[in-house]
Amino acid sequence: MKRITAPLDADTIDDLEVGDEVLISGVIYTMRDAAHAKVAEIIEKKGKLPFDLTNQVVYYCGPTPAKEGNVIGSCGPTTSSRMDKYTPMLLERGLKGMIGKGERSVPVKDAIAKYGAIYFSALGGLGAEYARDVKKSEVIAFPELGPEAIYRMEIEDFYAVVINDAKGNDYFVINQYN
């Protein structure tokens, strides 16, 4: 088990390999389908993004409302492939990590290798458990999107597994017949 900190630096990314289990602490941002579409539109219009993508980690998640006394509601991963059409453009602009579930398309895997990034999988069905790892949460953009707004989250020991590393390796391909 490796402990890493977000935002990510090049040394951390270079040290990670497919199958590595990690505990992530630091700052990450949630973005799902609707937020990706809005960010893509901002990029196309050469506008100012809601946060600097450089070295950041995006979690494909739409948190549920927090119950009284909690920082956030359930916050499990969503299917990453729904964001694939936007991902290369974000990686080109400095994004270094993504957390979600499921496989990524060939163009996304190619972009991960090209831009020296990493894709992690979180475990589906554990949204309430992952919520315990969130120490602070605030909506920073697109509040009108409700759970699909962009949240800035401070996390501690958030469990994930490396699925696509910066060297171009793919966990699903390597373990296809094992």
pLDDT tens readout for residues 111-168: 999 999 999 999 888 888 899 999 999 999 999 999 999 999 999 999 999 999 999 9
- Determine the pLDDT at residue 174: 86
Asked if 136 and 71 count as a contact pair (C-beta separation under 8 A), the reply is yes
- Residue ranges of domains in the chain, CATH in brackets: 2-154 (3.20.130.10)
Over residues 8-50, the pLDDT tens digits come to: 999 999 999 999 999 999 999 999 999 999 999 999 999 999 9
Dihedrals phi, psi of 88, to nearest 5 degrees: -55, -40
Spell out a b/e string for 111-124, using b for 16 or more CB atoms within 10 Å of the CB, else e.
bbbebebbbbbbee
Give all strands (DSSP E) within the chain, no chain letters.
Answer: 2-6, 21-30, 57-59, 97-100, 118-121, 134-141, 150-164
Residue 168's pLDDT is 95
Three-state DSSP at 81 gives helix
Map residue 9 onto helix, strand or coil: coil
**Per-residue pLDDT for 53 more than 90?**
yes
Residues 6+ apart with CB under 8 A from 158: 23, 24, 25, 28, 99, 122, 130, 133
pLDDT value at 78 more than 60: yes
Mean pLDDT throughout 93-116?
97
Distance spanning both ends of the chain, measured CA to CA: 22
Per the model's pLDDT, the better-predicted residue between 123 and 52 turns out to be 52
* pTM more than 0.85: yes
The answer, yes or no, to whether residue 177 has pLDDT greater than 60, is: no
- Residue 145's pLDDT is what? 96
Residue 178 above 70 pLDDT?
no
